[in-house]
């Protein structure tokens, strides 16, 4: 018989209590917002054991919720053995400090912003992604540092031996300075990375390859769609913010044109402003695209609200005017009659299932059609020593006809306007003129 019982070393999930307030001004019903908050908590490894809601005209300045609800919150924390209380709206530093004092030091009180930042911290894998998350976290923590040193400030307020040195304020100022210095360092480093990204983006622009960006609400299936269209193996799971870092893959359309597809970070309602600011260099991939595919989860009851949230963030980053196509994904989870009804309501949208591949051929045709807008038909005689130019015509254009002549490749193709400008020195009006040039 063993002397010691084996104990599991697996981390014990924290028990979370969710708190929401209906102020009558939110775009989403409180019930749906709280359900999403629960999914965020589960994504972060917690177990939701209860929730508390209240309707108010405006938040209470000290505790966000009313005094009666605060007492109820304390009772629920004790009865349910809660480890963390998560508010659906952003708390001020003073509200967070007051609530922590009321519920007890052993229970954490955080808001939706802190929860999302924690999830981003877990899922960021690239160097740039980790820097962006760290910057957003420090910007969030900076105004909340005072509460972390409140015990020392309290000692100073009581007077007596040692109080004249101002330990609390000194340490608080030191920490604030360290955080500000770190924020400045991260901003400089991210600025350098942004310069490199802009150079890479400019190189792709100069290459003439048509650029498409996948944007959408978190867990709408963007990464799965990228994998389906390009044969990539990007990490994709049924969880919120499964991938944060942008991934670009090339794709050759049936018409012969080569394009790039970029998967971007997922959006969410009430996305923290400082997080949007920190990820602007990543979101710049969407701003630099020539076509934006707004991927939406057709099976989600809040699908249209999700699209509105995506539109709001695209407007924030200056990408609202880019050509776009709404792509309703996960149609395999709906009855065919429901899909037909949605198609009648949204005739300009595409309806697909990235999981099964249904509708993806139609989506690729739509992308090819959008990419061909503004194309012109040209006929050029490209000399034999311009092999790279021939390659670019095949990659960027749609070949109508071609044949080899004595002076080079005579090709008629539909190409983007910028490609047509490149081919202008070799342009001919017809095959007869080409023959005349060869004879000369």
Largest Cα–Cα distance of the chain, in whole Å?
105
Q: Which two tokens stand for residue 36?
A: 């999403």
Q: Are the C-beta atoms of 306 and 220 separated by less than 8 Å?
A: yes
- Is 355 annotated for ligand binding? yes
Q: Are the C-beta atoms of 240 and 268 separated by less than 8 Å?
A: yes
- Is 46 annotated for ligand binding? no
- Is 270 annotated for ligand binding? no
- Is 330 annotated for ligand binding? yes
- Is 120 annotated for ligand binding? no
- Is 221 annotated for ligand binding? yes
- Is 266 annotated for ligand binding? yes
Please work out, in degrees rounded to the nearest 5, the angle formed at the alpha carbon of residue 294 by the alpha carbons of 288 and 300.
Answer: 155
- Is 264 annotated for ligand binding? yes
Closest C-alpha among 172, 137, 168, 138 to residue 153 = 168
- Is 168 annotated for ligand binding? no
- Is 241 annotated for ligand binding? yes
- Is 220 annotated for ligand binding? yes
- Is 223 annotated for ligand binding? yes
> Residue 22 and residue 268: Cα distance in Å, rounded?
19
- Is 245 annotated for ligand binding? yes
> Residue 96 and residue 111: Cα distance in Å, rounded?
9
| DSSP-assigned beta bridge partners for residue 427 | 380
The alpha carbons of the chain give a radius of gyration, in whole angstroms, of 28
SS (H, E, C) 113-182: HHHHHHHHHHHCCCHHHHHHHHHHHHHHHHHHHHHHCHHHHHHHHHCCCCHHHCHHHHHHHHHHHHHHHH
Phi/psi of residue 217, nearest 5 degrees: -65, 150
> Residue 293 and residue 291: Cα distance in Å, rounded?
7
- Is 216 annotated for ligand binding? yes
For residue 337, how many other CB atoms are within 10 A of its CB? 8
The 15-22 sheet, strands edge to edge: 47-55, 15-22, 84-87, 108-111
Q: How many CA atoms lie within 13 A of 395 on its CB side?
A: 15
- The DSSP bridge pattern shows strands 291-297 and 84-87 to be unpaired
Q: Which residues are annotated as a binding site?
A: 216-223, 241-245, 263-266, 329-332, 353-355
Q: Which residues are annotated as a binding site for GTP?
A: 216-223, 241-245, 263-266, 329-332, 353-355
Q: Which residues are annotated as a binding site for Mg(2+)?
A: 223, 243
């Amino acid at each position: 018989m063993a002397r010691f019982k084996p104990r599991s070393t697996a981390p014990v999930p924290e028990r979370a209590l969710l708190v929401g307030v209906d102020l009558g001004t939110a775009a989403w019903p409180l019930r749906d917002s709280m359900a999403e908050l629960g999914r965020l908590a589960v994504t972060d490894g917690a177990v939701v054991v209860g929730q508390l809601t209240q309707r108010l005209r405006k938040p209470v300045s000290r505790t966000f919720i009313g005094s009666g609800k605060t007492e109820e919150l304390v009772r629920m924390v004790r009865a349910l053995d809660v480890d963390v209380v998560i508010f659906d709206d952003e708390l001020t530093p003073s509200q967070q400090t007051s609530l922590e004092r009321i519920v007890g030091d052993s229970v954490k009180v955080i808001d939706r912003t802190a929860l999302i930042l924690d999830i981003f911290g877990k899922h960021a894998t690239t160097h740039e992604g980790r820097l962006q998350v760290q910057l957003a976290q420090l910007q969030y923590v900076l105004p909340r540092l005072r509460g972390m040193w409140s015990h020392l400030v309290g000692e100073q307020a009581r007077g007596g031996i040692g109080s004249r040195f101002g330990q609390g304020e000194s340490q608080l100022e030191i920490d604030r300075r360290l955080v500000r210095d770190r924020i400045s360092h991260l901003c400089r480093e991210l600025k350098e990375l942004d310069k490199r990204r802009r150079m890479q983006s400019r190189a792709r622009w100069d290459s003439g390859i048509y650029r498409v960006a996948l944007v959408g609400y978190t867990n709408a299936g963007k990464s799965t769609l990228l994998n389906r269209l390009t044969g990539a193996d990007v990490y994709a799971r049924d969880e919120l913010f499964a991938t944060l870092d942008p991934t670009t893959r090339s794709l050759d359309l049936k018409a012969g044109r080569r394009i790039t597809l970029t998967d971007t970070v997922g959006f969410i309602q009430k996305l923290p402003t400082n997080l949007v600011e920190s990820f602007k260099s990543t979101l710049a991939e969407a701003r630099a695209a020539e076509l934006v595919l707004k991927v939406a989860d057709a099976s989600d009851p809040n699908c249209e609200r999700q699209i509105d949230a995506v539109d709001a963030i695209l407007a924030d980053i200056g990408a609202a005017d880019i050509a776009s196509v709404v792509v309703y994904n996960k149609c395999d989870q709906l009855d065919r009659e429901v899909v037909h009804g949605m198609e009648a309501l949204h005739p300009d949208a595409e309806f697909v299932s990235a999981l099964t591949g249904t509708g993806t051929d139609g989506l690729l045709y739509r992308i090819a059609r959008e990419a061909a807008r503004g194309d012109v038909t040209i006929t050029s005689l490209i000399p034999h020593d311009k092999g790279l130019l021939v390659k670019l015509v095949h990659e960027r254009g749609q070949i109508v006809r071609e044949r080899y002549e004595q002076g080079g490749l005579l090709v008629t193709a539909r190409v983007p306007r910028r490609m047509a400008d490149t081919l202008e020195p070799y342009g001919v009006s017809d095959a007869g003129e080409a023959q005349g040039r060869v004879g000369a």
